[in-house]
Structure 1
Amino acid sequence: METSRGHSPPEPTFRRGAFQRRLALVFALQLAGVVIAVLLGVFDVAPLAAVLALIGVISVLAWLAARREWAPVSALARVIDGWNEQQPDPQLFSLARLSPRTDADLARLARGLYGFAERIAGYNERERNFTRDASHELRSPLTVIKMSADMLGDEAGLSEFGDRSVQRIKRAAREMEALVESLLVLARGGDQGTGDEEFVVNEVLRRELGELRQVLEGQTVEFALEEPARFALHGSSRVFAVLCWQLIRNACQHLDQGRVVLTVLPGAVTVACLAQAGRLRAEGQAFELTIAQRISERFAWTLELETREGNERVASIRFPHPLPA
């Protein structure tokens, strides 16, 4: 026994080729009218002025009829032109909004746009849910880690090795928090959640290098900051710090021993790694450079990588709109 279920209303039926048939009828009637008008003139049934006026009237009527047939296409074009992808409304392309006289080809196009709009709406909803849930679920454990590291650092009698470990945990937690923020900015796509602050590039780099020296204490890599220029940027200082951190880590992964030099140029920052012995290593670069590349594309900061003579690898970031510091 079949149970009663809710069903969506059936889609209206559209005739294939209806548009072409109606246009063909319009042009056929126009041709017939013009032929009749010409015959009336040839056999002196009507004066030339009347024949020309009749042909003009027939042409205007044919144009109005063709325009009426084209109206559904124009209406669909206006809907597409005013469509907002951030707040898509699939019902704008619903077949129920189309006239029963609509051609089947146009109805098929509207059906495809309706499905596309539904997928975009679903994607936007999943994006909002992801950024909201990820922001909460990832930041909460990071907060616990930072609080626990602070409490552990206040313990009396903590050894020097333990203190260095606590500092590394704090640094890693801060880096993870900044990385999560950067990934959320990237995940928002067209959303303008890019930070609303002005920061001096030189100050951010000094802070990053100071913390980096603590994290990599005891390793055979030296760090230097050269500042022939000084400028500021408008955006997110944390995202900028993540970009530089990824490039610095990538430079360190290419060195057994050597120097990493950060240089602030007018409207640009370079990160160069120079090996003192042996060759530059090529492994361990995919994840860091992928994140750096996505950040540079998101903020329109040009990222260039090159390998120079003398075992030197250089990453350059160029900023299109630097501000005076």
Structure 2
Amino acid sequence: MPRDEPARGGFQRRLLLIFGMQLVAVVVACLMGYYNVAPAAAVLLLIVIVSALTWLATERAWRQVSTLAQWVGNWKEGQPDLDAIQPERLRQTDSDIATLARGFHTFASRIAGYNERERNFTRDASHELRSPLTVIKMSTDMLSDEAGLSDFGKRSVQRIRRATREMEALVEALLILAREADNGQGEQDFVVNDILRDELANAREMLHGHPIELQLEEPASFALHGSPRVFAVLCWQLIRHASQYTGQGIVQVTVTPGMVSVSAIAGSEQEHPPAPGQRGFEYAIAQRISERFAWPLSLHVQGGNRYVAEIRFPKPLPVSA
């Protein structure tokens, strides 16, 4: 232990000394009044003075704790400047408070470093991953317009195009999850039914060639305040997961008041349909997005082969005219 560092537990000992001296002074004053050594008014005045001195001494000892509490209260997670919470700014304090100050400064430094790495990663990943995908999309569009392209070449171009769109959706989902400090994602009011229609049109194109039919049932309609892109990515992950579950057949998306469900029936050729616990990568991404944005997600299997995923929205909005 450094020579100038107070012994651990000094704060507690100072409080014990202060209140111990107060107790002794009050007892002495009471005895003086009991044996008529001093008048009652003087005894009361002495007790008041002792109590006031005790409060002042306690307030001075507690001042460092109040300073530390003010640091914690004023600290913001994204605050890059940590000079204001340097432990050295606490003068003449005991090692207990100094340990708390150093621990808080270390924690804040780690959070600041994490936020910086997060910003760098999302910025670099957004550029370095999206740019090649854009080049691939443009190349496939130009290649599909080539005259004399064989049927095999056309099918290959379509597969590349679908794989590129799936990769775009995956990159978008991962970037959404990576942005820990940015839950806004361009929040606005949007109609759930409109987003689902567009998403199912894109999903049909990406699932082209697979024996899967996508259906949208709309017995209700409602709106949400949030990011339509996040909602679309969440629904696509569930549609993709349901498509992999069923293998072939119908994947149905149903809109009910305050809830969207994705259901499918495992194909008859699957002797052993996936169990509910085998949720896969797509469902894991969907579940993390639902947790991030407080949209509860549940998955269960009915009748042994009917897959049902339900997303509930605690604060649905009416569809405006």
Fold shared per TM-score above 0.5:
yes
CA offset at residue 322 of structure 1? 2.8
1:262–1:160 Cα change, 3 Å: farther
Where does residue 275 of structure 1 map in the other structure?
266
Deviates more, 1:135-144 or 1:167-176: 167-176
Of residues 105, 108, 123 in structure 2, which corresponds to 1:117? 108
Q: Does 1:82 align with 2:74?
A: yes
SS in 2 for 1:254: helix
Provide the rounded CA distance (Å) in 2 between the counterparts of 1:233 and 1:17: 54
**Which of 217, 222, 240 is the equivalent residue of 2:213?**
222
Q: CA distance change for structure 1 residues 53 and 122 in 2, over 3 Å: closer, same or farther? A: same
Give distance in 2, aligned partners of 1:312 and 1:107: 59
Q: 1:202–1:17: structure 2 CA closer, same or farther, 3 Å change rule?
A: closer
Q: 1:44 and 1:277, CA in 2 relative to 1: closer, same or farther beyond 3 A?
A: closer
Code of the aligned partner of 2:299: L
Identity of aligned residues (%): 61
Distance in 1 between the 2:7 and 2:243 partners?
67
Identify which range, 221-230 or 272-281, moves more after superposition.
Answer: 272-281
Residues 236 and 42 of structure 1: is their aligned pair in 2 closer, same or farther, counting only changes over 3 Å? closer
Amino acid across the alignment from 1:74: S
Q: Tell me: CA distance 1:12–1:137, structure 2 relative to 1, closer, same or farther (3 Å).
A: farther
Asked if 1:63 corresponds to 2:76, the answer is no
Counterpart of 1:308 in structure 2: which amino acid? Q
Structure 2 distance, partners of 1:211, 1:38, is 87
Q: Give the match for residue 286 of structure 2.
A: 292
Looking at structure 2, the residues matched to 199 and 38 of structure 1 have their Cα atoms a distance apart, in angstroms, of 75
Q: What's the C-alpha RMSD, in Å, of the aligned pairs? A: 2.5
Q: How many residues align?
A: 315
Task: Select the residue among 83, 92, 98 that pairs with 2:90.
Answer: 98
Paired position in structure 2 for 1:233: 224
Query: In the alignment, is the contact (CA less than 8 A) between 2:216 and 2:254 conserved in 1?
Result: yes
Correspondence 1:28-39 to 2 at 5 A: 28-39=20-31
Match of 2:7 in 1: 15
1:17 Cα deviation (Å)?
3.6
Q: Which amino acid aligns with 1:261?
A: Q
Asked if the contact 2:266/2:273 (under 8 Å) is kept, the reply is no
Deviation at 1:35, TM superposition (A): 4.1
Counterpart pick for 2:313 among 302, 307, 319: 319
Give the match's secondary structure for 2:246: coil
Q: Flag the 1:183–1:28 CA change in 2: closer, same or farther, 3 A.
A: same
Instruction: Give CA-to-partner distance per residue, 1:28-63, whole Å, 9 cap, x none.
Output: 433443344334434434211112111221121112
SS of 2:185's equivalent? coil
Matched residue, 1:7: none
Report the CA distance between 1:236 and its aligned residue. 2.8
Q: CA deviation at 1:178?
A: 3.2
Tell me what 1:4 maps to. none
Alpha-carbon spacing, 1:199–1:165, altered in 2? closer, same or farther (3 Å):
farther
The reply on whether 1:260 has 2:275 as its aligned counterpart is no
- Alpha-carbon distance in structure 1 between the residues aligned to 2:34 and 2:192: 87
Output the TM-score relative to the length of structure 2: 0.87
Tell whether the 8 Å contact from 2:183 to 2:293 is kept in structure 1 after alignment: no
Aligned to 2:164: 173
**Amino acid corresponding to residue 83 of structure 2 in structure 1:** Q
> How far has the Cα of 1:161 moved from its partner?
4.2
Match of 2:39 among 27, 34, 47: 47
Structure 1, unaligned runs of 5 or more: 1-9
> 2: distance between equivalents of 1:109 and 1:260?
55
Distance across 2 between alignment mates of 1:87 and 1:61: 39
Give the Cα separation in 2 of the matches to 1:181 and 1:261: 24
